[in-house]
């Protein structure tokens, strides 16, 4: 079974993603900020898909990247945003420079069909890690 970590301070959006992922057979861990995400990622092992909101309180998506790159487990990352492309591009460049496996970005709002497709793609990517 595949594991997804959803780090987003928008509770309604995060719950939507979690519900869809669970229905598709994923194990889900919800995090409201980057600090919580890093704590949960360090507690477990095995491959995982991580959806990280770029704009969160306490520790945002860009700040998470450095610590995430030091976690010794196979991770696939996609950044989520409802905001500017410049911040998103910076996050992707930094993550790639830290040798993180980064997929296409997710833009809010995301449709049910689009998210299901994304989960299938990520399931295949995790199986290859």
d(CA 126, CA 120): 10
- The dihedral through the CA atoms of 43, 74, 67, 65 has a sign that is negative
pLDDT in tens, 66-80: 899 899 999 999 999
Residue 77 phi, psi (nearest 5) = -125, 140
| pLDDT tens sequence across 7-33 | 999 999 999 999 999 999 999 999 999
Q: Can you say whether residue 47 is alpha, beta or left, with left for phi > 0 and alpha for psi between -120 and 50 degrees?
A: beta
Q: DSSP for 41-95?
A: HHH--S-EEEEEESS-SSS-HHHHHHHHTTS-S-EEEEEEESS-HHHHHHHHHHH
Asked if 34 and 60 count as a contact pair (C-beta separation under 8 A), the reply is yes
| Separation CA 87–CA 107 (nearest Å) | 13
Residue 122 has pLDDT above 90, yes or no: yes
**Is the CB of residue 15 less than 8 Å from the CB of residue 23?**
no
Question: In the structure, what pLDDT confidence band is assigned to residue 89 with cuts at 50, 70 and 90?
Answer: confident
Average pLDDT across the chain, whole number: 92
The C-alpha atoms of residue 41 and residue 126 are separated, in whole angstroms, by 15
Q: Over 90: is that where the pLDDT of 43 sits?
A: yes
Q: Is the pTM value of this prediction over 0.75?
A: yes
Highest mean pLDDT (candidates 20-24, 58-62, 125-129)? 20-24
Out of 3.40.50.2300, 3.40.50.720, 3.30.2290.10, 3.90.420.10, the CATH code matching 3-128 is 3.40.50.2300
Distance CA 58, CA 31 (A): 12
Q: Mean pLDDT across the stretch 111-129?
A: 94
Mean pLDDT (whole number) for 102-114: 93
């Amino acid at each position: 079974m595949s594991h997804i970590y959803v780090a987003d301070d928008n509770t309604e959006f995060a719950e939507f993603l979690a519900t869809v992922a669970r229905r598709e057979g994923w194990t889900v861990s919800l995090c409201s900020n980057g600090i919580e995400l890093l704590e949960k990622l360090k507690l477990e092992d095995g491959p995982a898909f991580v959806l990280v909101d770029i704009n969160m309180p306490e520790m945002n998506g860009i700040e998470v990247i450095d610590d995430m790159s030091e976690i010794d487990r196979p991770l696939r990352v996609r950044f989520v945003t409802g905001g500017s492309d410049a911040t998103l591009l910076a996050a992707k460049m930094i993550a790639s420079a830290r040798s993180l496996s980064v997929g296409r970005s997710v833009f809010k709002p995301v449709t049910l069909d689009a998210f299901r497709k994304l989960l299938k793609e990520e399931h295949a990517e995790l199986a290859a890690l």
